[in-house]
Amino acid sequence: MSSSDLTLSVVIPAFNEEQRLGPTIEELAAFLDGHGWAYEILVVDDGSTDGTVALAHRIAALRPAVRVLATAPNRGKGHAVRVGMLAAKGAFVLMTDADGSTPASELPRLLRPLLLGRAAIAIGSRYAPGATPADQPQWRRLWSRLANVFIQRTLVPGVRDTQCGFKVFTAQAARELFSRATVDGWAFDLEVLALARRLRLRVAEIPVAWKDDRRSRVRPWRDLWNVIHEAATIKRNLDRGVYGLPFAQRFGT
């Protein structure tokens, strides 16, 4: 498939991102325009209380490829991503954070295994060999490692980085996963990857460049507890068949 045939949807969840959203959209649009790709950018506002929605509408007025989906009240990043994924029209759907921590130039690396039919999902990784993450505060490295210890043991063993906000899906995989997903909070990535494993959808973990944004809204210990709690709920839901998977898929046989 050539780039001129490529239809890409980009989902950007946003909550009070008035300061960071504009530059991220501009970088994405410039990169995609420069490569001649057909695309749409879906900004999914998660009940912002600042000027995020107004800004997004101003950008959309200048860039017809931008769509704004405003939701209220605030329910969490997982809910916003789910809304965007199910509204996307592209053959491939990219989820990226409003802070632009992973540059748009990393997108071709993620798309390659999907275009070659080697995977249905590709996830950016800050910890896979070849990644170039920026220096992180000690608390954030510790937070990530502690969360990953629990995750590795319960849901997605072998995946080095479940939380990097740069993931791309085929349209079919996006529909299969996000029509079943239920988690509104931080652990939505875990739910989607765990469901992908149960559905036997191939996942490629791709090393990416990443920069730390010191304005991150992560609340270290409270969010760590929430992720662990949500991960335990996901595991319980999988075991109980809450997601409506066939018996063989549900139990991995």
DSSP codes, 27-41 = HHHHHHHHTT-EEEE
How high is the pLDDT of residue 1? 42
- The pTM assigned to this predicted structure is 0.87
What backbone phi and psi angles, to 5 degrees, belong to 244?
75, 25
| Integer Cα distance of 210 and 161 in angstroms | 12
What backbone phi and psi angles, to 5 degrees, belong to 91?
-70, -25
Query: Helices marked H in 118-219 — which ranges?
Result: 138-154, 171-178, 188-198
How high is the pLDDT of residue 160? 80
Instruction: Look up residue 133 and give its amino acid.
Output: P
Give the single-character DSSP code of 12. Answer: E
pLDDT by residue, tens only, the chain of 253 residues:
444 456 999 999 999 999 999 999 999 999 999 999 999 999 999 999 999 999 999 999 999 999 999 999 999 999 999 999 999 999 999 999 999 989 999 999 999 999 999 999 999 998 777 877 655 666 556 666 666 666 766 788 788 888 889 999 999 999 999 999 999 988 899 999 999 999 999 999 999 998 766 555 555 556 667 777 888 889 889 988 888 865 434 333 3
Give the single-character DSSP code of 135. Answer: P
Compute CA distances 215 → 16, 20, 58, 160, 219, whole Å.
12, 10, 24, 24, 11
Q: 3-state DSSP call for residue 69?
A: strand
CATH code for the domain of 33: 3.90.550.10
Domain that holds residue 58: 3-250
Q: 3-state DSSP call for residue 121?
A: strand
Q: Hey, what are 159's tokens? A: 């995946």
| Integer Cα distance of 52 and 17 in angstroms | 6
Q: 3-state DSSP call for residue 11?
A: strand
- H/E stretch holding 25 reads helix 21-34
How high is the pLDDT of residue 223? 65
For the chain, how many structural domains are there in total? 1
Instruction: Look up residue 127 and give its amino acid.
Output: Y
